[in-house]
Chains A and B, each alone.
Chain A
């Protein structure tokens, strides 16, 4: 494929030199992984809280498979937090203290 600027190779060489790819800082890996982990934790917390608030009759209704679609949909429409990623959870588990994780999760949710 013919590349543009065939007669301007010097500028292209300068651009190649000037616009080098930039390695992200190491902390960014941890930050993004932490965000996804926090979202997962937030989703799990929401599910847990939601289950604890159910009355006995609601729990009985939940045991009925014909009703299972409703909680699934409810979780689905819960927003970004319930769309959370479990990507790095196992790897990250234990690296955060509970309070720190909760704070991080709250912070992430606040942003949405």
Chain B
């Protein structure tokens, strides 16, 4: 049998094992589709690319799902999945040399179908906090997305970002502090 360190492509598994893997992955996919999509959307800033990124994340997750389960020791796999999406999003920026070009609360017609109207419904504070979020460094912004959009705790975020729990706690604290200062300071452009 394969050891915990080696990845076995799903097609190489015995049929019964593969069927069990597929059932488990289907549950996993359904449980976390919204998490991955939310993360992707807040990273790339538009629904089209968020859909691409979400699909790629699950394709990649499936290929390594068996190994991830073996190595998880019963721990939740959500941080591992979000880490995949995180790496894909990083590649997205690197490959295309771009960052989100428009604010997330822009007049994206699809956004209105996802109950995000409140973002633009006269809530200037929300508009401002989203704008200031873009001023944060990537790691700070990503940690806040994981915390607030996905509801991940420090330990999960630490695993997703490949940091220690302590470093993650500091990262989030500093991110919120910076946002606080930006909110209290003069609004810029």
Contact = CB atoms under 8 A, between A and B. Distances in A.
Contacts of B19: 86
Tell me whether chain B's interface is mostly helix, strand or loop, or mixed: helix
B115 A20 contact: yes
B97 interface: no
Nearest to B9: A83
A98 interface: no
A24 B116 CA distance: 12
Given A20-B116, A28-B37, A80 B63 contact: yes
A31 B51 contact: yes
B25 A18 contact: no
Nearest to A73: B12
Contact of B9 (A11, A15, A23, A82): A82
Interface stretch (A1-9, A51-59, A60-68, A99-107): A1-9
A84 B25 CA distance: 12
Interface of A: 1, 4-5, 8, 10-12, 14-25, 28-29, 31-32, 35-36, 43, 72-73, 75-76, 78, 80, 82-88
